[in-house]
Amino acid sequence: MALLQIVEPGQSQAPHQHRLAIGIDLGTTHSLVATMQSGLPRVLPDHDGQVLLPSVVRYLADGHVEVGERARQGAAQDPLNTLISVKRFMGRGLDVLHQLGAQLPYDITLHDNGVPYFRTIAGERSPVEASAEILRVLKLRAEEALGGELAGAVITVPAYFDETQRQATKDAARLAGLQVLRLLNEPTAAAVAYGLDRQAEGIHAIYDLGGGTFDISILRLHQGVFEVLATGGNAALGGDDFDHAIAGWIMASAGIVNPDADVQRRLQMTARKVKEALSQRESVELKLAAGTGGAPADWTGVLTRDAFEQLVAPLVDETLRACRRALRDAGLKAADLAEVVLVGGSTRVPLVRRRVGEFFGRPPLTHLDPDQVVAIGAAVQADILAGNKPDSDLLLLDVIPLSLGLETYGGLVEKIVPRNTPIPVARAQEFTTFKDGQTAMSLHVVQGERELVADCRSLARFTLRGIPPMVAGAARIRVAFQVDADGLLSVTAEETSTGVRAEIVVKPSWGLADEDILRLLRESQQHAVADMQARSLTEARAEAERLWLATEAALAEDGRLLDAHEVAALTRAIAELKTLAAAADSAAITQSAERLNHAGELLAARRMDAGIRQAFAGKNLTELEG
């Protein structure tokens, strides 16, 4: 997800032929399309001059489909057939029904394939089909404005979108007859729109407050590559909640107690208009006729910007808490950031701008329209991907999509080259042997973010032979990973005291499809906690085994230094540790190991006394240096 991988050099088209390419921001609340003309980004309006297309699809009895403002207007009368916020359903299954289904007016059925379908007057429709309707309108708009056939589109998705959600977005594009040049993360698109990719290195925060969602992304531009250092946010927080807060205020002020669904919808729409007006004005006057939602009398009220800010301050605070978490996840302070970019219609609210500026300690970038910045970035990328730029202008952002590492004792992965590292790159680390007299070491190269080898992808295996016999932990084996500019990975292992070498070239270096990458990343995030537990168990077991092997070896050699009771005590401690190591309680294993360690101290001391200066415990492969 963190990757912005751009075309290979030399793939561009004939220089004179300008290919029509568009960028589409397929949003939860609004969607829009932009393109590059004569080197400048341009958003494309509809016949009425409107740039933002409400992401609303209404199915009519006669088979027609309304998309956009008309559909939104009809939502109140026809909630069952008017799909709002379908983006929330994209690529989701039963989980989304549990999360959203109950609150929504739709009649939803879950198909065998796990996809929720909306039962509409026109038949059952999937979220992908509904999204395709939105894309179709934007495609048509672009074709009419540009007067030709489109070479392709870049469509943006949230940075946290998983593989299925991305695939669903691609499917929708295909249904709409669009050629997808690339899916691009929304925050990356915003950063590109502001030209941050052309600046020096820097860390940027992208604060995106839309209609129903809040996303914060921390991106790092490093040697021409955007890495996503952290994402966070709240999928159920946005401008709609500002509307709810205002609607609640109106109800309380006008004495509306039990509004029906229709009144609720109308209140929402009014609230939204009031909110948007308050971004420009200091106060807005409201009137309500008696009887509306049971209001006892005609009502006139005034909402000032101050009062509005008090209503929504807790919501804005909530976004800042998410920002604080994202910074913490990235291991950063606000002062580490170079730029803060505002995205999404709700960042027009003056309170939001103010508070974000205070939080990050700098004025955020706002000179591009926050509704348009994502589409503009997508258009910039589409133009490049369609081959309209000379090669020199290409962003060559090639990184290692998933970490490369080595299997260590107990099936654990030691990461050598972390994901997002730009190529070419060379990294080395030193390992050592696990057992006394070990003369060969088997090296297993893996890729993935998970802690256990079994959950990563195996790339290659090879063996280093001819290590001179030494006590465990004495050998120095330097393993070097090298990825060249073409993405070829080679791994060498060398015992440094003797120079014994082994080498393997892995071809291609990763060869993972985008989908694989996303799946593996998603799994690593989902499993992070379980992995840590598995890792500590494996480590506890490895440590336990190392300890009992060493103790047994010492007993076999110098057991005569102990009396029968002392030998029995030590043997019991070994047996206990072996039993506990077979179970899955890492804390119990560690405690038992400590007892054995303690019990073994006596023997160690006697051996020392006896002048046997042999290390009681050796180092092992999991213990790393260098």
Is residue 208 flagged as an active site residue? Answer: yes
Which residue in the set 279, 366, 536, 571 belongs to the binding site for ligand ADP (CB under 6 A)?
279
**Least distance between ligand ADP and beta carbon 11 (Å):** 32
Is residue 565 packed enough to be buried (19+ CB in 10 Å), middle (13-18) or exposed (0-12)?
A: exposed
How far is the CA of 514 from the CAs of 2, 166, 183, in angstroms? Answer: 11, 10, 10
Which residue in the set 151, 323, 326, 349 belongs to the binding site for ligand ADP (CB under 6 A)?
349
Residue 211 touches which of ligand ADP, Mg ion, none (Cβ within 5-8 Å per kind): ligand ADP
283 scored as a contact of ligand ADP (CB under 6 A): no
Which residue in the set 4, 7, 27, 246 belongs to the binding site for Mg ion (CB under 5 A)?
27
293 scored as a contact of Mg ion (CB under 5 A): no
Binding residue count for Mg ion, defined by CB under 5 A: 2
Nearest-5° Cα angle at 253, 251 to 258: 30
Q: Given phi > 0 = left and psi -120 to 50 = alpha, else beta, which region is 354? A: alpha
Shorter beta-carbon distance to ligand ADP: residue 108 or 236: 236
240 scored as a contact of ligand ADP (CB under 6 A): yes
CB atoms within 10 A of CB 517: 22
Give the H or E element holding residue 242.
helix 239-254
Residue 330, phi then psi, degrees to nearest 5: -85, -5
3-state secondary structure of 516: helix
Which residue in the set 156, 167, 213, 292 belongs to the binding site for ligand ADP (CB under 6 A)?
213
Select from 5-13, 80-88, 206-214, 267-275 the region that touches Mg ion (CB under 5 A).
206-214
Active site residue: 87, 139, 275, 619, which one?
87
Write the DSSP string, 50-72: ---EE-EEEE-TTS-EEESHHHH
275 scored as a contact of ligand ADP (CB under 6 A): yes
Nearest-5° Cα angle at 377, 84 to 206: 75
Shorter beta-carbon distance to Mg ion: residue 233 or 293: 233
Write out the binding residues for ligand ADP, residues 363-422 only, by CB under 6 A.
371
Is residue 578 flagged as an active site residue? Answer: no
Shorter beta-carbon distance to ligand ADP: residue 348 or 476: 348
Rg (CA), the chain: 31
23 scored as a contact of ligand ADP (CB under 6 A): no
68 scored as a contact of ligand ADP (CB under 6 A): no
How far is the CA of 527 from the CAs of 160, 276, 452, 456, 530, in angstroms? Answer: 16, 42, 11, 12, 5
Shorter beta-carbon distance to ligand ADP: residue 219 or 237: 237
- Can you name the residues that pair with 399 across neighbouring β-strands? 422
| Sequence-distant (≥ 6) Cβ neighbours of residue 3 within 8 angstroms | 397, 399, 401, 420, 517
Shorter beta-carbon distance to ligand ADP: residue 250 or 512: 250
212 scored as a contact of ligand ADP (CB under 6 A): yes
**Least distance between ligand ADP and beta carbon 104 (Å):** 16
How far is the CA of 278 from the CAs of 55, 73, 249, 274, in angstroms? Answer: 24, 22, 15, 6
211 scored as a contact of ligand ADP (CB under 6 A): yes
Kindly write out the interface string for residues 304-343 of this chain, putting x where it contacts ligand ADP by CB under 6 A and - elsewhere: ----------------------------------------
Shorter beta-carbon distance to ligand ADP: residue 73 or 591: 73
Residue 239 touches which of Mg ion, ligand ADP, none (Cβ within 5-8 Å per kind): ligand ADP
54 scored as a contact of ligand ADP (CB under 6 A): no
Of the candidates 199, 203, 160, the one whose C-alpha atom is nearest the C-alpha of residue 183 is: 160
Binding residue count for ligand ADP, defined by CB under 6 A: 21
**Least distance between ligand ADP and beta carbon 30 (Å):** 4
Q: How far apart are the first and last CA of the chain?
A: 30
Contact 428, 626 (CB under 8 A): yes
Cα–Cα distance for residue pair 243/261, rounded to 1 Å: 15
Active site residue: 78, 208, 227, 407, which one?
208
Residue 220 touches which of ligand ADP, Mg ion, none (Cβ within 5-8 Å per kind): none
Cα–Cα distance for residue pair 69/54, rounded to 1 Å: 6
Half-sphere exposure in the Cβ direction for 534 (13 Å, CA)? 15
The tokens describing 491, both together, are: 């791994």
Active site residue: 186, 371, 407, 494, which one?
186
Shorter beta-carbon distance to ligand ADP: residue 86 or 349: 349
Select from 193-201, 211-219, 328-336, 554-562 the region that touches ligand ADP (CB under 6 A).
211-219
Is residue 398 flagged as an active site residue? Answer: no
Q: Which residues make up the interface to Mg ion (CB under 5 A)?
A: 27, 210
List residues with catalytic annotation.
Answer: 25, 87, 186, 208
Q: Which residues make up the interface to ligand ADP (CB under 6 A)?
A: 27-30, 210-213, 238-240, 272, 275-276, 279, 344-346, 348-349, 371
